[in-house]
Chain A
């Protein structure tokens, strides 16, 4: 066969095509391609994770560790799923007496706080200007020495009283350690950050003569009348209240509990309520008294309780024969439905219907504390609401109100104070709490900064902050910033770079809540005593130390009576000793609860001067509170005027609180920020809620940028038209506007506290502000 050029080419082409085709037809190369593609997909994310740089998460055995969450005062039990040494998920602990398996979004995102880049890796010392965020790492010895030196100097100079501590709580071993330190060191200035507890404690103390705050038997109540409490939005112990809400929503329709929400805005709680009554903001007390009027007028109150166990319901005369007005007469004469309707804007008919429904319900319950309960509030308003519980005899009863009980632990030996300690701790408090002006109040967390700015700039020479973020959470941010500037030495014990830490001189990072032991007393709003135990779920991720240990080391370094006030080796020893015989159970089970706890019977329940529930507060005179007028001894409506001139600021701004947005000392983790609605946050701008009618008055539409201005400050915001808010009222979410933390939180929105100032309650000195006057202009 002759092979010419053409045939040769044909053969070559044919063979190549055949070979190529044949190879394509075998599955081998396709399989290889498939594998390669899959590898590429596995490798790429690994690369993204930094797996090639050794950041790939470790595998290991799956285990579970029980602990307690302390991101809010809710004190839920948690179960942490672990793989090897890594904590990979936080879940609600089943069977835990607070939350039985449930968890809130913040708690579920806790690991982002544990492993996040906002953690403080070691003791840090500020370099450069305060607030510039420049810190350098220092050793624990250096850090502690610095504190010892500063505090030692102050003490030597006789200025021990200029040292203050701000904490988020005053219960449990750690807050008590700080308190003890101040006592031994010589300062009266232990300050607890603001919450509705401040006022509730006082109201209960005055009306019932009990100490401590309030507990509600929510689960067994069947008519819940809420005066602006964000029941399902983080009020009280959030998961517990949501679970109670589900109890109210269970069973046949006709058997379900009724929830009524009084609030100028359709919050989630209002939306889920059976009835929502929007009333003029700040007029809650008037409405409560209006309801009392109807209940009394129609004799719907619990006569047995009122007659036998209350004082000051009827008019009464003292030994000298002077007659005093009782609650009944005040309410009957002043708070008629018509008058109350005028104040609150709620039709008189609705007041009548609501009062009857409330009083006739089997187990009615009136609850108080705006939003999540993060502001103190007005004393008389709290008392007016609590009076409704008294009228229905709803105290220390199933489905009622009682004082929040604690599990008893061992007390510590009395502090042996030296002369400096004695003189220092007897000095007046910087915030004025306990002074002649505000003799009843224990802490005035929103007032110390005002006092400092009001001419006492040197009043605090050193400030220690633990589990609190006063720089962020205190009302009137500008005033707080100014006061902070005047404090020469600020020490933060924070685990993460919150606003206070950011503006501190020294950060002594505590172990994260998943890395340490600590006792958690009865959570807020619980009516049964519960003691929970934080326990280390993972080993400390960074060079951190127990705040208790650091504090004791400081005390011991100072020597003398300060040192001897702390006879314990370390914090864990102290904790075990304090728990005493309960330690075994706490270590093993993680908590102690007294499910069978019953509050005292009416006959023994009240520690007031009269031994009864007091509508007329006799303790005012005993304590030396100056009450100007007769009605001042009774729950009554005293308008708390929002700050600002109505002519300049025609609108009312109220803070709103969202379940998905932490607004206290804990910065919102990225997961929670991610769940915010599109009408709450857009890029770095937050939305304020405006009624479409109001918006139309100011030429604003959905999504418009606007300048929100109050007497305290101004901020650029976005407008969200919301039919659920009263015309004339603007709602601004709390929890944004951080400058510290990191890119996942910092720079988003504005801090509502920077727009709202303090309005002092005339009796307690606490902030009674529920809002502020504002104006909104298009930009």
Chain B
């Protein structure tokens, strides 16, 4: 690519960066739209034909959707947590990645709400959660915080859009972006507060289910221990997801976009938080075994039925917890990009698995002695409609990358 053959939409690109030809961009956007459309069809089937098209049932009122929802929101925690570190803790280097963290956050939170919209099967009535709100329900807390935080994320995303080279030429937008930047610490602070709450309430969702000894936890005031564990696990893995997304973007773009030291800061913080999380999670697990035993549910009963055997516990905490923690704490290991990425993948998978366990396995474990264990696997409709939002996110990221100044260091790292 040389400047002579610059793409026709190059005027919209951020200052001084190169992008692929428009037709190639269009081609890849079209490719992504393939599975996205399958997802749209799946979603329309859910709404049009009712939820019998899924593999959900009365034993598994929650399935892939809810697990994915919780997982995606945890992964999106990179947005608020990076914002927190950048604007409140004032780790200045992070300004080089915070934009991208925000984009990922917007994508994740939009996806989470979208998935919920499909999951309830009655999106027309979804707003009842606000209108007839039950303040005791963790889900109400989640809904309010997520919606508010999504608005915050949009506000955080807005200046990025306004900073598009052409839009920014309009004085009003320029000024608005400028002012929003100035307000960013305050907005970030609001976002952090909201995020802590909804990450926590998401933990509360399974944690308060005292009818399900597998999920139930005692806690502090109205918040079960899972409330705090979910916050911690989210901020322990969010940065890793940001790293992972950056790495993937770099691979796709074929160039460096963020300096290694920035990545390293995130990885280090992630590692430390992960260790803290693992310690607390272990304590929680031990205490959980004790209280569950008290209500007549010995640990063995939780892991009596495949595919939910003890391997689940070992995989979640060991392979997907301890291993990435060790890697992330070790400076040398972090320097090796491949190892770092493996750690990030393990960490993110760990969070996903945790959310799956806390929702789906929590329902899988029979409570009444005469309940039969029933296995569940999602069908293509559930997969497709969930992944639809991932593909949608990919499109948003592609557009953002092409037209918005997401990576401040890109120009410096890739001199023309």
Q: Is chain B a partner of chain A in the same complex? A: yes
Q: A residues touching B (Cβ–Cβ < 8 Å)?
A: 6, 9-10, 30, 33-34, 37, 40-41
- Number of interface residues, chain B, beta carbon within 8 A: 7
Contact B124 A6 (CB under 8 A): no
- Partner of A6 from the list B125, B131, B172 (CB cut-off 8 Å) is B172
Contact A10 B131 (CB under 8 A): no
B127 at the interface (CB under 8 A from A): yes
A40 to B128, CA, bound (A): 14
Contact A33 B127 (CB under 8 A): yes
Interface of A is mostly: helix
Q: Which of chain A's residues have a CB closer than 8 A to the CB of B124?
A: 37, 40
Q: Which of chain B's residues have a CB closer than 8 A to the CB of A30?
A: 131
B296 at the interface (CB under 8 A from A): no
Contact A34 B171 (CB under 8 A): no
Contact B172 A37 (CB under 8 A): no
Q: Which of chain A's residues have a CB closer than 8 A to the CB of B127?
A: 33
Nearest-CB residue, chain A, relative to B372? A678
Q: Which residues from 100 to 130 on chain B have a C-beta closer than 8 Å to any C-beta of chain A? A: 124-125, 127-128
A777 to B270, CA, bound (A): 60
Nearest-CB residue, chain B, relative to A33? B127
Q: Which of chain B's residues have a CB closer than 8 A to the CB of A41?
A: 125
Q: Which 6 A-B pairs have the closest CB atoms?
A: A37-B125, A6-B172, A37-B124, A9-B172, A34-B131, A6-B171
A58 to B131, CA, bound (A): 34
A33 to B171, CA, bound (A): 39
Q: List 12 A-B contacts (CB under 8 A).
A: A6-B171, A6-B172, A9-B172, A10-B172, A30-B131, A33-B127, A34-B131, A37-B124, A37-B125, A37-B128, A40-B124, A41-B125
With A30-B131, A37-B124, A41-B125 already in contact, 9 other A-B pairs whose C-beta atoms are closer than 8 Å = A6-B171, A6-B172, A9-B172, A10-B172, A33-B127, A34-B131, A37-B125, A37-B128, A40-B124
Nearest-CB residue, chain A, relative to B130? A30
A41 to B127, CA, bound (A): 15
Q: Which of chain B's residues have a CB closer than 8 A to the CB of A9?
A: 172
Q: Which of chain B's residues have a CB closer than 8 A to the CB of A40?
A: 124
Q: Which residues from 142 to 195 on chain B have a C-beta closer than 8 Å to any C-beta of chain A? A: 171-172
A10 to B131, CA, bound (A): 32
A652 to B128, CA, bound (A): 60
A-B residue pair count with CB separations less than 8 angstroms: 12
Nearest-CB residue, chain B, relative to A34? B131
Q: Which of chain A's residues have a CB closer than 8 A to the CB of B171?
A: 6
A749 to B171, CA, bound (A): 77
A41 to B124, CA, bound (A): 10
B346 to chain A, nearest CB (A): 38
Nearest-CB residue, chain B, relative to A9? B172
B368 to chain A, nearest CB (A): 16
Nearest-CB residue, chain A, relative to B132? A34
A36 to chain B, nearest CB (A): 9
B171 to chain A, nearest CB (A): 6
A495 to B172, CA, bound (A): 81
A371 to B135, CA, bound (A): 56
A13 to chain B, nearest CB (A): 9
A585 to chain B, nearest CB (A): 49
A21 to chain B, nearest CB (A): 13
A157 to B128, CA, bound (A): 79
Q: Which of chain B's residues have a CB closer than 8 A to the CB of A37?
A: 124-125, 128
Nearest-CB residue, chain A, relative to B125? A37
Q: Which of chain B's residues have a CB closer than 8 A to the CB of A6?
A: 171-172
A514 to B125, CA, bound (A): 43
Q: Which residues from 65 to 118 on chain B have a C-beta closer than 8 Å to any C-beta of chain A? A: none
A40 to B127, CA, bound (A): 15
A63 to B124, CA, bound (A): 39
A41 to B172, CA, bound (A): 46
Q: Which residues from 281 to 308 on chain B have a C-beta closer than 8 Å to any C-beta of chain A? A: none
B374 to chain A, nearest CB (A): 10
Q: Which of chain A's residues have a CB closer than 8 A to the CB of B131?
A: 30, 34
Q: Which of chain B's residues have a CB closer than 8 A to the CB of A10?
A: 172
Nearest-CB residue, chain A, relative to B127? A33
A10 to B171, CA, bound (A): 12
Q: Which of chain A's residues have a CB closer than 8 A to the CB of B172?
A: 6, 9-10
Nearest-CB residue, chain A, relative to B128? A37
A40 to B125, CA, bound (A): 10
A116 to chain B, nearest CB (A): 24
A47 to chain B, nearest CB (A): 14
Nearest-CB residue, chain B, relative to A678? B372
A528 to B207, CA, bound (A): 62
B124 to chain A, nearest CB (A): 6
A47 to B211, CA, bound (A): 38
A8 to chain B, nearest CB (A): 11
B144 to chain A, nearest CB (A): 16
Q: Which of chain A's residues have a CB closer than 8 A to the CB of B125?
A: 37, 41
A496 to chain B, nearest CB (A): 29
B109 to chain A, nearest CB (A): 21
A30 to B131, CA, bound (A): 8
Nearest-CB residue, chain B, relative to A40? B124
Nearest-CB residue, chain B, relative to A38? B125
A6 to B173, CA, bound (A): 11
Q: Which of chain B's residues have a CB closer than 8 A to the CB of A34?
A: 131
Nearest-CB residue, chain B, relative to A41? B125
A432 to B171, CA, bound (A): 108
A196 to chain B, nearest CB (A): 34
A374 to chain B, nearest CB (A): 31
Nearest-CB residue, chain A, relative to B175? A6
A34 to B124, CA, bound (A): 10
A665 to chain B, nearest CB (A): 35
Q: Which of chain A's residues have a CB closer than 8 A to the CB of B128?
A: 37
B263 to chain A, nearest CB (A): 39
A16 to chain B, nearest CB (A): 14
A470 to B36, CA, bound (A): 59
A601 to B127, CA, bound (A): 78
Nearest-CB residue, chain A, relative to B171? A6
A10 to B128, CA, bound (A): 34
A9 to B175, CA, bound (A): 13
B105 to chain A, nearest CB (A): 24
A600 to chain B, nearest CB (A): 51
A182 to B128, CA, bound (A): 70
A621 to chain B, nearest CB (A): 59
Nearest-CB residue, chain A, relative to B126? A37
A34 to B131, CA, bound (A): 8
A680 to B331, CA, bound (A): 62
B357 to chain A, nearest CB (A): 27
A48 to chain B, nearest CB (A): 11
A33 to B131, CA, bound (A): 10
A37 to B127, CA, bound (A): 10
A33 to B125, CA, bound (A): 9
Q: Which residues from 257 to 271 on chain B have a C-beta closer than 8 Å to any C-beta of chain A? A: none
Nearest-CB residue, chain B, relative to A36? B124
A33 to B127, CA, bound (A): 10
Nearest-CB residue, chain B, relative to A10? B172
Nearest-CB residue, chain B, relative to A13? B172
A45 to chain B, nearest CB (A): 13
A6 to B174, CA, bound (A): 12
A6 to B124, CA, bound (A): 39
B363 to chain A, nearest CB (A): 19
A44 to chain B, nearest CB (A): 10
A44 to B157, CA, bound (A): 40
Nearest-CB residue, chain B, relative to A30? B131
A403 to B172, CA, bound (A): 103
A37 to B131, CA, bound (A): 12
A40 to B131, CA, bound (A): 17
Q: Which of chain B's residues have a CB closer than 8 A to the CB of A33?
A: 127
B301 to chain A, nearest CB (A): 21
A91 to B101, CA, bound (A): 65
A637 to B131, CA, bound (A): 77
A32 to chain B, nearest CB (A): 12
A6 to B128, CA, bound (A): 40
A331 to chain B, nearest CB (A): 45
B126 to chain A, nearest CB (A): 10
B117 to chain A, nearest CB (A): 15
B173 to chain A, nearest CB (A): 10
A601 to B129, CA, bound (A): 75
